[in-house]
Structure 1
Amino acid sequence: MAARLVQISMKARDDSALGRFWAKALDWGVDSEAPGVTNLEPVGFAYPDPVAVCIDIVADPEPKTVKNRVHLDLATTSAAHQAELVARLKDLGATFADVGQGEVPWTVMADPEGNEFCVLEPRPVYRDTGPIAAVVVDCADPRASARFWGGAMDWTTYEVTDDQATMRSAQGVGPYLEFLRTPGTKSVWNRVHLDLRPYPGDDPAAEGARLRALGATDPGIDQSALSWTVMADPEGNEFCLLSPL
């Protein structure tokens, strides 16, 4: 058994407005499966497919108060492309952000609701990822995160050091998932989190038990009305285990 990363979930006070921003930023299609939920995926995309990690934006009235522990890195193909993308994102409503990065070759920005993201300088490793180069998760121990997430999913682990762990789908397509050693501790519920989905025919209850055996925990909330399972990785980062599809 194994799960696959199919989407990231963002909370937003205005899911429709934030959805429009990210749809234009990524040149993706936008839809809504229900009131208060905006779904983004590439035009013509057949969900789920590891060639892309989709985005679900869910309405939530609570404001953002701290730096997100999960963010997107956007890929570029040249210095000119990076500059053009930064300018276009500013026109769409993004702002420059300071998270203590200092002088770096990438540009740190925030979307209209304050969610941090990076526009990377051109890097050969991301030449075939699509617009999202990587989904990046802050952590205290990349090696421990790689052990958990490497066991949780069927993705391939490419690099593990004291400072960073990197993995990608077993098919070698789509964005990377990266765990970056970052100072500080988790203090609030994550406004951006990962969503996993078992493969067709797998038992969600058995998959949940397998993830708990790997070190996942229950966040202690009422889940009786949910059709999915909310869990947390060993560092406390929440994630959702969806139904098989």
Structure 2
Amino acid sequence: MTLRPVLVNIKAVDDAAVGRFWGEALGWSVSSNAPGETNVGRVGFDWRDPVGVRVDVVAVPEPKTAVKNRVHLDLATTSAAHQADLVARLRSLGATPADVGQGDVPWTVLADPEGNEFCVLEPREVYRDTGPIAAVVVDCADPRAMARFWDEAVDWTLHEVTDDHAVFRSAEGVGPYLEFLRTPGAKTVPDRVHLDLLRYPRDDQEAEVTRLRALGATDLDVGQGDVPWKCLADPEGHEFCLLARS
């Protein structure tokens, strides 16, 4: 039994507008399967049998607070010129500069039109083949503890773990990395960005939920009501959903 990260879920008041932004930012197609949900992914992406991840923007009534998200996307670039051009293009699409205390760094921190922070990285060899999303980055207090939980929870490969960070990537070695970074402060508000996981067809949904709870996950009530998916939180409180296969 194991799970795969398949979707990066971003909450927004205007899902269509934020979805269009991310479609333009990533160079991916934009569609909608239901009101209040905008899907952003590569042409031909199948979330039931994914290679990499898709971005889903889901409508919520509450705007983002001033608190920095503890999950964000890092975008990859191939050269200094590419980085500069991408930053300029993103700003023309509605991104704004963001100060999260980064200081003088070679990457650029921006926020999407509803304030969700993300980074445009300087060229890094490790991200040369990830596609537009270099990494999904999670702030945490204890990367080693996060590595233990997520290594058991999902089938992605743990590439590196230290006191400061833990790094995963899909078992196929494609798509973005999943990184846990030691970051000061504690989680205080629900995140507007989280991962959605999917079980393999042969596995049982309730058995997977039970397994996750045994690893340290807790049930989460975000007002979802009676839905076919399960909302959970990892041992540091990062929300994630276990999707139902349809």
TM-score (norm. length: structure 1): 0.97
CA RMSD of aligned residues (A): 1.2
Matched, 1:181 2:182: yes
Q: Do structure 1's residue 40 and structure 2's residue 40 form an aligned pair? A: yes
Q: Is the 1:196–1:242 contact (alpha carbons within 8 Å) kept by the matching residues of 2?
A: yes
Moved more, 213-222 or 96-105: 213-222
Whichever residue aligns with residue 4 of structure 1, its letter is: R
Specify the alignment match of 2:12 in structure 1: 12
One-letter amino acid matched to 1:128 = D
Unaligned runs of 5+ residues in structure 1 are none
Give 1:24's aligned residue. Answer: 24
SS state of the match for residue 218, structure 2? coil
Q: Which amino acid aligns with 2:13?
A: R
Report the CA distance shift for 1:110/1:224 in structure 2 as closer, same or farther (over 3 A).
Answer: closer
Corresponding position of 2:239: 238
What is the alpha-carbon distance in structure 1 between the residues aligned to residue 123 and residue 224 of structure 2?
Answer: 43
- The equivalent residue for 1:94 is 95
Give SS of 2:219's match: coil
- Offset from partner CA, 1:208-239 (integer Å, 9 cap, x none): 00000110001245655111000000000110
**Whole-angstrom distance in 1 between the partners of 2:38 and 2:141:** 32
Cα deviation per residue 1:128-164 (whole Å; 9 max; x = unaligned)? Answer: 0000000000100000001000100011001101111
CA shift at 1:188, angstroms?
Answer: 1.0
Q: What is the CA–CA distance in structure 2 between the aligned matches of 1:87 and 1:44, rounded to whole Å?
A: 28
- Residue 45 (structure 1) shift: 2.3
Equivalences for 1:1-245 in 2 at 5 Å? Answer: 1-65=1-65, 66-220=67-221, 224-244=225-245
Contact 1:146 1:160 in 2 (8 A): yes
Offset from partner CA, 1:42-81 (integer Å, 9 cap, x none): 1232334553211111111111111001100000000010
Q: CA deviation at 1:33?
A: 1.0
In the alignment of these two chains, the number of paired residues is 245
Displacement after TM superposition at 1:243 (Å):
1.3
Bigger shift: residues 185-194 or 73-82: 185-194
Amino acid at match of 1:27: G
Shift in alpha-carbon separation, 1:49–1:105, aligned structure 2, 3 A: farther
| 1:142 counterpart letter in structure 2 | P
Q: Could you state the TM-score of these two structures normalised by the residue count of structure 2?
A: 0.97
3-state SS, counterpart of residue 63 of structure 1: coil
Gaps in structure 2 of 5+ consecutive residues: none
Is the contact made by 1:51 and 1:175 (CA closer than 8 Å) also made in structure 2?
Answer: no
**CA deviation digits over 1:66-117, x for unaligned, max 9?**
1001100000000010001001001101011100000001000000000000
